[in-house]
Amino acid sequence: MTRRLAGEIVVGLVLVSLVAWGVNVALERLVTPRIATGPDAAAASTPGQVPHITATLYYSTPDGEALIPVVREVPLAEGPVAQGRAIVAAQLEPATAQISVIPPGTTLRAFFLTERGDAFVDLSREVSTNHPGGTSAELLTISAIVNAVTTNVPTVQRVQILIDGKEADTLAGHVDLRRPMQKDLSLVRDEVQ
Amino acid sequence: MEPLRATATSTIALSLLLLAALLRAQGAPPAATPAIPLMLISRDARRPVPTTIVGGQELVALDDIATLLGVSLREDAAAGGITVTYRTRSIALSPDQAMASVAGRVVALPSPVRRNGRRWLVPLDFLTRALAPIYDQKIDLRRASRLLILGELRVPRVVGRIDATGPPTRATIEITPPAGVTSSVEAGRILLRLDVEALDMALQLGSAGLIDQIRAGDQPNTLAIFLNSRSGTPRVVTSSTADLTRVVIDVPAPNAPLDAAAPSTSVAPPAAAASTSAAATAAAARSVLPPPRTGLQTIVIDPGHGGTDVGARGAAGTEEKAITLEVARRLRTLIESRLGIRVILTRDDDRAVTPDERAALANNRKADLFLSLHANAASSPTVAGAEVFHLLLDREGEDARRRAEADAVSLPVVGGTARAIEAIRWDLAQASHVEVSAMLAGLLVDELGAHVPMGPRPRQQAPLRVLVGANMPAALIEMAYLTNPEQEKALQSDDFQSLLAQSIFDAITRYRATLEGSLQ
């Protein structure tokens, strides 16, 4: 074999390898499915850089008897599904200046919408196992989540809460979770802050 | 120049080859086609259903389901999902989610819905868990036999075995559930024709003794037993019990007639047990409740929680489940001794009882009143007081209430005739009682309010699980807040518990009087 030929073979191999690597990277980017995680929006670094929307979230009144609507900044997301997810994630976060009605450790596992305008909010099991119990406390928790979605995501009429990926009989023994629920402001006191 | 061009060409060629290889490698995990196709059996057809096995799960394409079962598909570009519609009801699916929303309810699927471009794949269980509830024909998936049966078809399970190679060779065929069998012998084979639409038969027995083969016949309801050319005249004896039909085939050697001993005692052919009557199926699908009674003869008291379900807990460790039981027992003593009304508790010890079991007990005992006792919890220790709840209906429940829906169901009864029974759907049982329940709640609030502290919202309506299935006026009482230290102490005390029991007793007395018309 001549040196010339050997050189060309080497060049050829190098070129082929470069093309292969480039194609590999490009295909990986195209094919990797986007996994829906919960509070990915909240991981945004500086608030100034990520666009936000103002949303109404629900927290406990100081006397613990009702809910109050509180206006907060929630990261902007594209489309009702992503925005709904961001809203629920924000509602689930423990808030420093507010009293949360969400049991500690509750995370959002999934959020999806049907074309009928029903949202499904899949929460981790802490929402049930860490709940203090009691009909009134359950109603406040559910009301906060249902209202957060229906108030801020206009296309959503009803919300069904799932626990750990499954339909649940009740949240913590009292309230029936087996069907989607509508916005209910009966437990909300009118003081938007 | 030439060598350079050659190099360039070979580079491009190799790159293209690599591209192709990478595309194959990067694609979905390797898909396989199952060895035995899934067969769809319907009244007029028998068709294979194309399926794919991906990652150990057998999937079927929604397009194939649409063609075979007549459903329509619509992709939802905005939400990225797809809707499967049959007549007026639909199922919503999202890619990569292992669940389906079926006419508003969520069902789990064993594996996620997959989407490859325009092609949607769902696990086989989609057919039974998601489609069957909205479909107008029965969908029966028999995985082991690779059959998908559509409609009320009789497809009995058929198993066969060779009992003795002999000669004489004996084979037994068992058919479950029983079916009518006619047999004929012709041209070296026995043909069994069954009085059904199709056979669920995994067997294909090879040769043994004087029997060459046993396998499915040419028609979907036939079985053929191929006899060796050197066999004598076979004997076929069919018998049936309530559970199965048995066909015993004896094949002797030629010129060695079979002895007179019959294989088993013959039983009279089964009375039309093979087909499932449509009425029985429909009735089983509904829960049957008798119509409501008048008067106050039986009261069911439901001590909330129990067993592993502790309920709310006070800071001093008081458990809701214990308090509810104590108050329930006090109340029972009061009512039984002073009103002479029968009282039943949904639990009289520390055990877990599901919401439906509690309502079922009340329904089965034909109770006239259902009261559930609980203790409340709040995020703040200052919240205190009793609250009374009755059921809040959702839209469907409201419609049912307005229509005062009660379907008459015709059920077969012993003796051969049928009887019309007023039946109410389980999850709408409380709907027809909501107004009286509201009145009951009002009385409870009145009487409790006269004796114990009341909460911030003394009277509420809420979608409470335990009340849903109760087919009588019902209410739930949150007696006090366990999260309030003072109230926790009170709930432990005899005096407070007696006060609660007395108040509820007084409300029941007034309720009975209202029923009997002596009060306005």
In this structure, is residue B37 part of a structural domain? yes
Provide the CATH number for the domain around residue B88: 3.30.457.10
Same domain (yes/no): B130, B163:
no
In this structure, is residue B268 part of a structural domain? no
Give the integer Cα–Cα distance in Å for A144 and B389: 20
Provide the CATH number for the domain around residue B487: 3.40.630.40
pLDDT value of residue B7: 74
Beta partners for residue B148, in sequence order: B40, B141
Same domain (yes/no): B400, B328:
yes
Give the integer Cα–Cα distance in Å for B513 and B495: 27
Alpha helix positions (H), A1-134: 3-31, 79-92, 126-129
Q: Which of A130, A168, A172, A127 is nearest to B376 (CA)?
A: A172
State the pairing for strand pair B200-201/B157-164.
parallel
pLDDT value of residue B264: 42
In this structure, is residue B8 part of a structural domain? no
Q: Which of B187, B191, B157, B186 is nearest to B174 (CA)?
A: B157
Minimum Cα–Cα distance from B4: chain A residue: A8
In this structure, is residue B44 part of a structural domain? yes
Same domain (yes/no): B470, B331:
yes
Give the integer Cα–Cα distance in Å for B282 and B41: 22
Partner B contacted by A115 (CB < 8 A): yes
- Å between A176 CA and nearest CA of chain B: 4
pLDDT in tens, chain A (193 residues): 678 888 888 888 888 888 878 777 777 666 554 433 333 333 344 445 688 999 999 999 999 999 999 999 999 998 889 999 999 999 999 888 899 999 999 999 999 998 888 999 999 999 999 999 999 999 999 999 999 999 999 889 999 999 999 999 999 999 999 989 999 998 999 765 5
pLDDT value of residue A134: 94
- Å between A30 CA and nearest CA of chain B: 10
Enclosing domain of residue B103? 32-150
- Å between A151 CA and nearest CA of chain B: 19
Same domain (yes/no): B185, B136:
no
Contact B312 A134 (CB under 8 A): yes
pLDDT value of residue B1: 56
What is the distance, to the nearest Å, from the Cα of residue A104 to the centroid of all Cα atoms in its chain?
A: 16
State the pairing for strand pair B31-32/B139-142.
unpaired
pLDDT value of residue B443: 95
Q: What does R_g of chain B's alpha carbons equal in angstroms? A: 34
Beta partners for residue B83, in sequence order: B74, B92
In this structure, is residue B26 part of a structural domain? no
In this structure, is residue B180 part of a structural domain? yes
In this structure, is residue B261 part of a structural domain? no
Strand, helix or coil at B113? coil
Whether B253 contacts B209, CB under 8 Å:
no
Kindly list the residues from chain B whose CB atom is less than 8 angstroms away from the CB atom of residue A103.
none
Give the integer Cα–Cα distance in Å for B368 and B474: 9
Among B150, B183, B198, where does a domain finish? Answer: B150
In this structure, is residue B302 part of a structural domain? yes
Same domain (yes/no): B491, B352:
yes
Contact A81 B80 (CB under 8 A): yes
Buried b (16+ CB within 10 A) or exposed e, B191-223: bbebbbbbbbbeeebeebbbbbebebbeebbeb
Q: How many CB atoms lie within 10 A of CB B15?
A: 19
Provide the CATH number for the domain around residue B176: 2.60.40.3500
Collect all residues with Cβ–Cβ distance below 8 Å to B81 and sequence separation of at least 6: A112, A114, A115, B75, B92, B93, B94, B95
Evaluate whether ipTM surpasses 0.90: no
Element (H, E) at A116: none
Written as six digits, the tokens of B243 are 């559970």
Q: Best mutation site among A166, A174, A177, A188 for testing chain B: the one with the most B CBs within 10 Å?
A: A174
Partner B contacted by A164 (CB < 8 A): no
pLDDT in tens, chain B (520 residues): 567 777 777 777 777 887 777 766 555 556 777 767 788 888 877 888 888 888 778 899 999 999 888 899 998 878 788 999 998 899 999 988 888 998 888 888 888 999 888 889 999 989 988 999 889 888 988 877 788 999 888 888 888 888 887 778 888 888 888 899 999 988 888 999 998 888 887 666 777 788 888 888 888 888 899 898 888 888 999 988 877 889 999 988 888 777 654 444 333 333 333 333 444 444 443 444 443 445 789 999 999 999 999 999 999 999 999 999 999 999 999 999 898 899 999 999 999 999 999 999 999 999 999 999 999 999 999 999 999 999 988 776 676 666 554 445 556 666 666 666 666 677 778 888 888 999 999 999 999 999 999 999 999 999 999 999 999 999 999 999 999 999 999 999 999 999 999 999 999 999 998 887 643 3
Same domain (yes/no): B75, B214:
no
State the pairing for strand pair B38-41/B46-49.
antiparallel
Whether B269 contacts B148, CB under 8 Å:
no
Interface A-B: count of C-beta contacts within 8 A: 177
Same domain (yes/no): B346, B415:
yes
Among B251, B276, B304, where does a domain finish? Answer: B251
- Å between B114 CA and nearest CA of chain A: 11
Kindly list the residues from chain A whose CB atom is less than 8 angstroms away from the CB atom of residue B109.
none
Give the integer Cα–Cα distance in Å for B376 and B452: 15
Whether B138 contacts B282, CB under 8 Å:
no
The domain total for chain B is 3
Give the integer Cα–Cα distance in Å for A118 and B94: 13
- Å between B79 CA and nearest CA of chain A: 7
Same domain (yes/no): B237, B304:
no
Written as six digits, the tokens of A31 are 């094919």
Q: Best mutation site among B465, B481, B487 for testing chain A: the one with the most A CBs within 10 Å?
A: B465
